[in-house]
Chain A
Amino acid sequence: MPNKLLKQALSGQNPARMWRDHDLKDSYDVVIIGGGAHGLACAYYLARHHGLTNVAVLEKRYIGSGGSGRNTTIIRSNYLTPEGVRFYDESVKLYEQMSAEFDFNVMFSRRGHLTLAHTDGAVRTMRRRAEVNQLQGVDSRLIWPEEIKRLCPPIDVSDHPRYPILGALYHPPGGIIRHDAVVWGYAHHADRLGVHIHQLTEVTGIAVQGERVTGVQTNRGFIKTGVVLNATAGWCTTIADMAGVKLPITTFPLQACVTEPLKPFLDVIIVSGSLHVYVSQSDRGELVMGASVDPFASYSMNGSLAFVENLAGHMLELFPGLRHVRVLRQWAGLCDMTPDFSPVMGVTPVAGFLVDVGWGTWGFKASPVSGKRMAELIATGRTPDLIHPFRLSRFYENDLVGEKGAASVGH
């Protein structure tokens, strides 16, 4: 890397673009709507694993401008159901290899992930998650305040807070990553393999004839295609409406914030469902913090003071020493929440219209595996076993995958 930098500096030329702009073609084999980590990952794996390169990724703004650039970058697989654990575990493994695969540093940092329990009920859930995880070969175990304090010295494990810490689910493989780099890595390699990435390209309609997709209308013209993937997260129902497909999804904003940079003091990820917070320290030293979704459905990404006040109060219960630390900025992203807190992936009643949606508050960590498996589905026409539990028809078959206890905080 240093040699590359030096060469670049002395050559006086601008570096090559990581991805290029193209004219919109009249037709593509596959059109992916949504230029986030999910859509770009799917395009990359279609080209890399299946040789499908006549693929367009349509993004109405700039790539990574949605949930991919707004999440709190936590990666883990300590879920509640065997289906969920197996699925997210493949994702963690793909993330671990990503820098090597891309020859590009995505700054994956394995931290260890602690989900705190403040009630007997929560301890019971953590015990169950630990058992389910271990049965799937995932490293998770229940630990007690003494070990929590050893792993995370600044945390208050005394009985002084309103909700003292009773135990935690410890998941050593949990980590954080640079989310923008993941988007750029997928975009760069998809581009080099022949995928067209079209930014500032908004889908305004989907052509369906006889229950089959025939094309996509955009603000830059019409594209003929037989396969459309909806990977638009918070906006997914607006796209599905265009194809006449109903989804069990409601869009809620989720807010997050960072503090001013501090010296490194927190090398684990701390999550508390009861206190509705999660926090990790970035490589820059900022504390990256998030909470539960906003209390009412909305497509607005405005932040609120109520969110910061609540979050700060709960953070101080865990880390009283942070009382003089200032919040640097806050933002919001949109979450496509499903009734069972699991995603919706696969085919729909409209042939050729596929969905990779319902990613709520658990989407970023699944980008590699959902991209890889959706690409497999598109290329082979067969739903991979790993994502079969998350099909849209599960709602009509009463076969839900209940992940409420492990997928997010605050309920």
Chain B
Amino acid sequence: MIQVECPNCGLRNASEFRYGGEVNPRPPQPLAIGDAEWTDYIYMRRNAAGVQTEWWYHRNGCGTWFLAERDTKTNAVVRTYLWGK
């Protein structure tokens, strides 16, 4: 099992966390864009084969959502950090 470093609690087994998917920023001007752009935001994914930035949630721990950079080919976690840091 891979381990993920929670920014609050340290290195823990991945089973303690919930995976939240790749970071998918909301459209900056939600009212200005059309249906096609909304569809891209809701459904289309980069699905990177390599290092991607993604959300994790420490479900069985401190209950914090945080960001991780993980290589999806090897599952090696490059770094984890709180949003805005």
Residues in A lying within 8 Å of B, measured CB to CB: 235, 237-238, 246-251, 295-300, 302, 304-306, 339, 395-396
What is the CB-to-nearest-CB distance from A312 to chain B, in angstroms, rounded to a whole number?
Answer: 16
| CB-based contact B45/A250 at 8 Å | yes
| CB-based contact A302/B44 at 8 Å | no
Q: Which residues of A contact B44 (CB under 8 A)?
A: 246-248, 395
What is the CB-to-nearest-CB distance from B69 to chain A, in angstroms, rounded to a whole number?
Answer: 14
Q: Which residues of A contact B49 (CB under 8 A)?
A: 235, 237-238, 251, 299
A238 to B54, CA, bound (A): 18
Secondary structure dominating the interface of A: loop
What is the CB-to-nearest-CB distance from A297 to chain B, in angstroms, rounded to a whole number?
Answer: 6
**Cβ of B22 under 8 Å from chain A:** yes
CB pairs A–B below 8 angstroms (20 shown): A237-B45, A237-B46, A237-B47, A238-B49, A246-B40, A246-B44, A247-B44, A248-B44, A250-B45, A251-B47, A295-B14, A296-B14, A297-B22, A297-B72, A299-B72, A300-B74, A304-B1, A305-B1, A306-B15, A396-B36
What is the CB-to-nearest-CB distance from A185 to chain B, in angstroms, rounded to a whole number?
Answer: 31
User: Which residues in window 38-85 of B have CB below 8 A to A?
Assistant: 39-40, 43-47, 49, 54, 72-75
Q: Which residues of A contact B72 (CB under 8 A)?
A: 251, 297-300
What is the CB-to-nearest-CB distance from B57 to chain A, in angstroms, rounded to a whole number?
Answer: 11
Q: Which residues of A contact B54 (CB under 8 A)?
A: 297
Can you add 16 more A-B contacts, CB < 8 Å, to A295-B18, A304-B1, A395-B43? A235-B49, A237-B45, A237-B46, A237-B47, A246-B40, A248-B44, A248-B45, A251-B49, A297-B47, A297-B72, A298-B73, A298-B75, A300-B75, A339-B43, A396-B35, A396-B39
Residues in B lying within 8 Å of A, measured CB to CB: 1, 14-15, 18-19, 21-22, 35-36, 39-40, 43-47, 49, 54, 72-75
A141 to B14, CA, bound (A): 40
- Number of contacts between A and B (CB, 8 Å)? 57
**Residue ID in chain B nearest A400 by CB atoms:** B43
Name, among A248, A296, A304, A306, the residue most crowded by chain B CB atoms within 10 Å (CB to CB). A296
Secondary structure dominating the interface of B: mixed
**Residue ID in chain B nearest A252 by CB atoms:** B19
**Residue ID in chain B nearest A248 by CB atoms:** B43
**Residue ID in chain A nearest B76 by CB atoms:** A300
A235 to B75, CA, bound (A): 16
| CB-based contact A299/B73 at 8 Å | yes
A395 to B74, CA, bound (A): 31
Q: Which residues of A contact B46 (CB under 8 A)?
A: 237
A246 to B40, CA, bound (A): 8
**Known contacts A297-B22, A298-B75, A300-B72; A247 and B39 CB within 8 A of each other:** no
A395 to B35, CA, bound (A): 10
Q: Which residues of B contact A297 (CB under 8 A)?
A: 19, 21-22, 47, 54, 72
Pick the residue among B36, B47, B74 that contacts A249 (CB under 8 A).
Answer: B47
Q: Which residues of A contact B36 (CB under 8 A)?
A: 396
Q: Which residues of B contact A238 (CB under 8 A)?
A: 49
A246 to B46, CA, bound (A): 8
**Residue ID in chain A nearest B56 by CB atoms:** A296
What is the CB-to-nearest-CB distance from B65 to chain A, in angstroms, rounded to a whole number?
Answer: 14
A250 to B72, CA, bound (A): 11
What is the CB-to-nearest-CB distance from A288 to chain B, in angstroms, rounded to a whole number?
Answer: 24
**Residue ID in chain B nearest A251 by CB atoms:** B47
Pick the residue among A247, A295, A300, A306 that contacts B47 (CB under 8 A).
Answer: A247
Q: Which residues of A contact B47 (CB under 8 A)?
A: 237, 247, 249-251, 297
A296 to B57, CA, bound (A): 12
**Residue ID in chain B nearest A340 by CB atoms:** B43
| CB-based contact B75/A250 at 8 Å | no
A235 to B47, CA, bound (A): 9
| CB-based contact A300/B35 at 8 Å | no
Name, among B15, B21, B72, B74, the residue most crowded by chain A CB atoms within 10 Å (CB to CB). B72
| CB-based contact B1/A250 at 8 Å | no
A237 to B47, CA, bound (A): 7
| CB-based contact A300/B19 at 8 Å | no
